[in-house]
Amino acid sequence: MAMSVGPAGGDEDEVVSAINTTPLVDVMLVLLIIFLITIPVVTTSIPVTLPKETIQVRESKPENVIISVDAGGAMYWYDSRVPNANALVERLKKVAAMKPQPEVQIRGDLAARYDAVGKVVYACQRAGITKVSFITEPPPRGG
């Protein structure tokens, strides 16, 4: 086994074994700029129909059932307190049997927890109520 080490003088052209990385860096910078420009376009180009805020003025009919939830999470059938969700379901089953079925309107306090209002919605579902709406206050005019 022999190995050739080249001429002993060393004054001839030597082979350089280093890689020139300047073109590689240039290409990588161009790709980086292209990705930085196209990423925001790709993330917001999905067609989505966003909901619009609408305020519908509705008349409250006397046969509608109004259930209120206060800040502490207590439920009220008009003005009388309902002890628990099961009692609410029993009352709502009587309402669900009516023809035509009245609408249940839920008045939730701004400071009420979501689970308290969710219990009322779930009670309506368990009782078979098909029309449930939420009563809110309109935003101030001009704002």
pLDDT digits (tens, 9 = 90+) for 30-41: 999 988 887 765
DSSP letter assigned to residue 112: S
Nearest to 77 by CA among 96, 50, 104: 104
For the question of whether the overall pTM of this predicted structure is more than 0.75, the answer is: no
Report the run of H or E that residue 88 belongs to, with start and end.
helix 85-96
pLDDT for the residue numbered 107: 87
Angle value at C-alpha 52, between 129 and 59, nearest 5 degrees: 45
Q: How confident is the model at residue 9 (pLDDT cuts 50, 70, 90)?
A: low
Task: Give the distance, in angstroms, between the CA of residue 22 and the centroid of all CA atoms in the same chain.
Answer: 47
pLDDT digits (tens, 9 = 90+) for 45-88: 445 555 555 566 666 677 889 899 988 888 999 888 999 999 99
Q: How confident is the model at residue 118 (pLDDT cuts 50, 70, 90)?
A: very high
Please give the domain boundaries of the chain with CATH numbers for all domains: 65-134 (3.30.420.270)
